[in-house]
Amino acid sequence: MSKLKPTSPAIAAASAAVAVALSAASALGAVTVYDNTFENRAAYSELVRSSGGKACERRYRGKSESMLATVESGPAICSFRAPVVGDRELPNHEARLDSKILDRTDKSVRGGAFVELSVRAGGGGMGYSLRVFPERRRFVFFRGPDGAGFPVQGKSDAINPINKRNQLRVAAVGAEVRAFINGEEVGSVADADPGQVSGRKLRFAIGNQKDRAGKVVGTFKRVALAVPNP
């Protein structure tokens, strides 16, 4: 179900003690304020395309209740923005994305095909972002602008391959930022200067890192946002 609730009370009440608790227990102490499972076209229409231009296409899939997105050629990234924004600097947000790269993706670009989830997102690529490459079972957890401790990158057996769904989760509470793939933590950084990341939005994307022609095709099944429970 698609739900949109005011973020102001929960975010404004988040204290240092809550931040520590959320850092330790992740989603266990969080309240969901936005949850879009693409159950109808209205839910699909809530999401705004924020980059990609003519390189991107998307459409609603009513039968599977999902959003299909296509990147026509690379390098390119097609990003989308959810209709929920933190109402203060450094919002304490935990985001979730359920998605997969389909086997309809051209073999020539599968190695560069990725999905991405960002919190505290803003213009110019600002935010804390987790990018997952299913074909190579590789990930990159990075910060825009770049900062000490980032990027965190590597391979993980937790990543499902092409045509299998992956759940990405990114949590930013105060200066503590963590990333998870299918429930396994793959990155944790105490940001020395979190004020440099001044975005307040939730963003997700599909992309092609390869500098060559070839379509990347993927689906999004769920995007959600939670905040600490005061």
Which pLDDT belongs to residue 73?
A: 86
What is the chain's percent helix, strand, coil content, to nearest 5?
15, 50, 30
DSSP state of 19: H
d(CA 178, CA 182): 13
d(CA 73, CA 2): 31
Q: What averages of pLDDT result for each successive group of 10 residues across the chain (230 residues)?
A: 37 32 46 97 96 92 97 94 94 98 97 98 96 98 98 98 98 97 98 97 97 95 91
Strands in 74-229 per DSSP E: 76-85, 93-101, 113-121, 127-133, 138-144, 152-155, 166-173, 176-181, 184-190, 201-208, 213-228
For the chain, domains (ranges, CATH) are 3-228 (2.60.120.560)
Which pLDDT belongs to residue 30?
A: 83
Q: Across the strands, what pairs with 68?
A: 59, 219
Tens digit of each residue's pLDDT (9 = 90 or more) over 45-83: 999 999 988 889 999 999 999 999 999 988 999 999 999
Which pLDDT belongs to residue 162?
A: 98
